Homo-oligomer: A and B are copies of this chain.
């Protein structure tokens, strides 16, 4: 991006796009997702977390997740996210190299998690194997201008002290963020107290995980002292309001976090627990929910919600110099929202409408790094039919095996 006058002096336009009655925003940043889980969207709902995971999601994953599953599911996620104004997503799932290839095919920016678990899956055998494979993917793809990488230890209850320590060393060496689930449920905290005698944040603090690299996904259950700890360490939170409600995880104290200086971005989580990858929806819900939780109608006002969906997400990913706001020198990751429909009429305050009244249906144009990806609501350079056919194949396969 550059100032208009300088652009006029330095370049000949091949095309001019004028969008009267639109608002142009920075491309939205989805700070926490498991993109390929679109293929499990709506497979199991309205269930307690443990039954949802153990009886439905994990069995389906162990049957189906492969590089192909991740590629197809992530491509579907990219289609949905681009149509909703999201230009960058922070991803945590198996086969990150397949997710990376899908993001590149879609022309989207992605921060890929180098995921780590202790237990084996179709993707890797143990924590070292996950990390080795993730680092190999990074070595192969790190020069791609749209891609960046995070270390992504899954969660305190699935990753050992030893692995966390190793991950901190690698993150410092390679200058990468550390993206992990943290304090999502009360059960997670109770299990930590039983096994480690401390709450997860205290444990991760002792292991050196807390710091400006940390992206704590969910962060639903925090004491005031823990909020201060995150703020003091310059850590970020990926707030996922839909998912926190749907799994009955609880009500995150976003206004308190923001007031105490925690950098709060927004995430959709995966489509199996949301069930949409719609950051405008998360923005609205975050702004509404913060007010009731804080018992204060002034909590998370519109401009703060917009910052959470854009600049704060970019900052968490270490991409603040490149994306997250409309400033000369930053990349042209843009989202145009049409204000022409009755739903956004009349208009006294565009920021209010963006947060409280607009929906992804009003997103008309999206550019990633200056390349147009959505034009008048239609994906550009996207083979919708082929994607649709592959998704139907997965649907039939997964539905058949779920019945069996």
Instruction: Pick the residue among B39, B246, B250, B342 that contacts A346 (CB under 8 A).
Output: B39
Which residues does A use to contact B, with CB under 8 Å? 38-39, 41-43, 45-49, 52, 76, 79-80, 83, 242, 244-251, 271, 274-276, 278, 281, 285, 288-289, 291-292, 294-302, 341-343, 345-349, 352-353, 356-357, 359-361, 384, 387-388, 391-392, 394-395, 398-399, 402
Interface of A, secondary structure class, is helix
User: Quick check: B297 and A49 within 8 Å, CB to CB?
Assistant: yes
CA distance A402 to B346 in the complex (A): 14
Instruction: Pick the residue among B48, B292, B388 that contacts A248 (CB under 8 A).
Output: B292
User: Quick check: B288 and A356 within 8 Å, CB to CB?
Assistant: no
User: Quick check: B353 and A46 within 8 Å, CB to CB?
Assistant: no
Instruction: Pick the residue among B80, B245, B348 that contacts A288 (CB under 8 A).
Output: B245
> Which chain B residues border A38 with CB–CB below 8 Å?
345-346
User: Quick check: B292 and A349 within 8 Å, CB to CB?
Assistant: no
CA distance A292 to B241 in the complex (A): 10
User: Quick check: B346 and A46 within 8 Å, CB to CB?
Assistant: no
CB proximity of A12 to chain B, nearest CB, Å = 36
Q: Shortest 5 CB-CB distances between A and B: which pairs? A: A361-B361, A346-B395, A46-B301, A245-B288, A42-B352
User: Quick check: B83 and A356 within 8 Å, CB to CB?
Assistant: no
> Which chain B residues border A398 with CB–CB below 8 Å?
346, 348
